[in-house]
Amino acid sequence: MNIDEQHIWHPYSKIPNTVPSHLVESADGVYLNFKNGNRVIDGMSSWWSMIHGYNNSYINQAMKRQIDSVSHVMFGGLTHQPAIDLCEKLIKITPQGLDKVFFADSGSVSVEVSLKMALQYWHNKGKINKSRFVTPRGGYHGDTFGAMSVCDPQKGMHHLFKDVLPQHYFVTQPTLGNTKEALADLENTLEKSHNKIAAMILEPIVQGAGGMNIYEADYLKGVRDLCDRYDILMIVDEIATGFGRTGELFGCDHASISPDILCLGKALTGGYMTMAATLTNSEVAETIGVLMHGPTFMGNPLSCSAANASIEILLNSDWKKRILQIQSLLNLQLLPLKCEHNVVDIRVIGAIGVIEFEKPLDMKSTQERLINDGVWLRPYGKLLYTMPPYIISDKELTTITQAMIGVARSF
Q: How many CB atoms lie within 10 A of CB 410?
A: 9
Catalytic choice (12, 14, 318, 321): 12
**Annotated catalytic residue 266:** yes
Q: How many CB atoms lie within 10 A of CB 227?
A: 23
Catalytic choice (237, 253, 260, 373): 237
Rounded Cα distance, 403 and 199, in Å: 42
16 prior amide bond cis, ω within 30: yes
**Annotated catalytic residue 12:** yes
Residue 213 φ then ψ, to 5°: -90, 130
Rounded Cα distance, 138 and 209, in Å: 9
Rounded Cα distance, 269 and 341, in Å: 41
Q: What is the DSSP string of 23-74?
A: -EEEEEBTEEEETTS-EEEETTHHHHT-TT-BS-HHHHHHHHHHHTT-S---
Residue 174 exposure: Cα atoms within 13 Å on the Cβ side: 23
Under 8 Å between Cβ of 260 and 234: yes
Task: Give, as one character, the DSSP assignment of residue 169.
Answer: E
What is the SS3 string spanning 340-375?
Answer: CCCEEEEEEECCEEEEEECCCCCHHHHHHHHHHCCE
Catalytic choice (266, 272, 373, 385): 266
Task: Give, as one character, the DSSP assignment of residue 380.
Answer: B
**Annotated catalytic residue 140:** yes
Catalytic choice (54, 121, 140, 385): 140
Residue 325 φ then ψ, to 5°: -65, -45
Which residues is 386 bridged to in the sheet? Answer: 353
**Who's near 135: CB < 8 A, 6+ residues apart?**
141, 150, 168, 169, 170, 171, 200, 201, 202
Task: Give, as one character, the DSSP assignment of residue 267.
Answer: G
Residue positions counted in the chain: 411
At position 299, the amino acid (one-letter code) is G
Residue 344 exposure: Cα atoms within 13 Å on the Cβ side: 11
Q: Would you please indicate which residues are annotated as catalytic (active-site) residues? A: 12, 140, 237, 266
